[in-house]
Each structure stands twice: as C-alpha cells, then as structure tokens.
Amino acid sequence: MPSFFSSKPVKAVQACGYGVATVGGGVTTVAMALMTMGLALTIIGIPGAILVGAPLTTASAYGTAKLAQRTAHKVDRAMN
C-alpha cells in the first residue's frame, strides 16, 4: 500500500532536533575545553587535566562531530 504522506516534513523536524543537539554538544565541548585549560593552570590540576579533562573533551568533540554528521544527513534527506 503506497504512502500518501511524504516523509520530508518528518525528516526536517528530525534535522531541527539534531541541529539543536549539535549546538548543545558544541557548547558543552567548549565548556569542557575551558574547564580543562583552567584545571591545567594549577599545579595540582595538571594530572587531572591530562587524565580526565583531555579525554572527556575529546569524547565530547567526537560526539559533537557525529551529531553534526547525523544532522547533515537528515537535512540532506529532507531536501532531496
């Protein structure tokens, strides 16, 4: 049975949701990077910045990049 409704509006709404999540991830990544830099400014915080801050910031940046990739895919599907 053919679908009488297009999935393009659904994909567009999904793209908006992913776009908001991508912006939130970007803000979180910047906040984590600033926290890591602030932690690294103290003598005691240098090991914490290396062992905790840097890996968490890297993971956050990776997640943001994956969200951006997914957002681009949804926008592409909604437009084509």
Tens digits of per-residue pLDDT, 42-75? 988 899 899 999 999 999 999 999 999 999 999 9
Query: Which element (helix H / strand E) includes 66?
Result: helix 54-79
pTM of the predicted model as reported, rounded to 2 decimal places: 0.80
Axis-axis angle for helices 54-79, 8-40 (nearest 10): 160
43 burial type by CB count under 10 A (0-12 exposed, 13-18 middle, 19+ buried): exposed
Q: What's the confidence (pLDDT) of residue 3?
A: 58
Cα 29 → chain centroid: 8
Q: Place 8 in a pLDDT band, splitting at 50, 70 and 90.
A: confident
Mean pLDDT of the chain: 89
